[in-house]
């Protein structure tokens, strides 16, 4: 029997070139969804796009102009968006600043998806009720947000702390959406998918060591298992019960950094991110 649980719904999956993003896109397409995919590698994204029946949308989240172009291209293809899966991200050496001059873990894991989500808000609203899924991580526990130093210009930047901070920001961004956009019918949830055995960490010698050795078999779960929580949330759809919450795989209210409950940080990060991306908040 054919599974058509996603029939009639339109989904955008970021970070869909490989790993859990590609797997999520494939499965949702098989379940009947119209799936758009984006990633930074045209060569890797092309076969995924062919599998789900669409054209690849290539964008590098280390360039905010790419994000703006991506949002415009999505708007040209679809009038409404039922699910936005902000899955793109990774861990990066803090010294390798982005094209826009930002610390890469901050921009790629938070600032770029923050901008994309805002630019796609009209499509999310047009769906009537929609869902934003932000891929976070248990690494949020090791993060630390300093609103006056988001780019680590006045403190030492350690790669894993910077990555954990980006994943913590995913949770705070989720809370910000839940508080501000619920009246538009937009629901948002953050999720830790688990340590999937993907190309995660390919830009980092330190983290990538695990993923490039036989140790990968002992410290990770399969790509399919990693994608499963994202797929389950997409199928559940914009359920108000999940709005603003953080899942550790399938378990609601996973372990969070204490900063995740700080309302002043939710508000401050939202406003500071708008300033850095040139957005006018309404």
DSSP bridge partners of 132: 84, 188
Q: Is 246 a catalytic residue?
A: no
Distance CA 86, CA 170 (A): 9
Let me know: does 239 contact 189? Beta carbons within 8 Å. Answer: no
Distance CA 164, CA 102 (A): 16
Angle at 170 between CA 58 and CA 264, to 5 degrees: 140
Q: CB 202: neighbour CB atoms within 10 A?
A: 16
Strands 251-252 and 245-248: antiparallel
| 2, 170, 259 from 145: Cα distances, Å | 46, 12, 8
Distance CA 212, CA 195 (A): 14
50-72 burial string, b = 16+ CB within 10 Å, else e?
eebebebbbbbbbbbebbbebbe
| 107, 149, 277 from 154: Cα distances, Å | 17, 6, 21
Distance CA 239, CA 15 (A): 24
Q: Which of 114, 152, 163, 246 is catalytic?
A: 163
The DSSP H or E segment spanning 282 is none
Radius of gyration for the alpha carbons in the chain, expressed in angstroms and rounded: 17
Catalytic residues: 163
């Amino acid at each position: 029997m054919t599974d058509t649980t996603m029939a009639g719904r339109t989904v955008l999956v970021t970070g869909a070139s490989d790993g859990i993003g590609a797997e999520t896109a494939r499965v949702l397409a098989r379940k009947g969804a119209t799936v758009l995919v984006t990633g930074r590698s045209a060569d890797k994204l092309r076969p995924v796009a062919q599998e789900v029946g669409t054209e690849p949308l290539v964008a590098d989240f280390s360039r905010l102009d790419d994000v703006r172009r991506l949002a415009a291209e999505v708007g040209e293809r679809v009038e409404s968006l039922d699910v936005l899966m902000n899955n793109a991200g990774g861990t990066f050496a803090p010294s390798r600043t982005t094209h826009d001059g930002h610390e890469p873990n901050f921009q790629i894991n938070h600032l770029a998806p923050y901008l994309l989500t805002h630019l796609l808000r009209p499509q999310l609203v047009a769906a009537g009720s929609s869902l934003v899924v932000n891929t976070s991580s248990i690494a949020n526990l090791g993060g630390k947000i300093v609103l006056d130093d988001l780019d680590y210009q006045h403190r030492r930047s350690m790669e894993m702390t910077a990555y954990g901070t980006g994943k913590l920001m995913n949770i705070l961004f989720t809370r910000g959406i839940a508080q501000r956009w619920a009246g538009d019918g937009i629901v948002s949830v953050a999720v830790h998918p688990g340590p999937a055995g993907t190309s995660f960490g390919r830009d980092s010698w330190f983290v990538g060591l695990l993923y490039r050795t036989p140790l990968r078999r002992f410290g990770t779960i399969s790509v399919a298992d990693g994608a499963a929580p994202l797929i389950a949330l997409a199928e559940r759809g914009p359920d108000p019960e999940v709005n603003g919450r953080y899942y550790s795989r399938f378990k609601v209210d996973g372990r969070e950094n204490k900063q995740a409950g700080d309302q002043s940080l939710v508000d401050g990060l939202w406003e500071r991110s708008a300033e850095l991306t040139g957005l006018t908040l309404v």
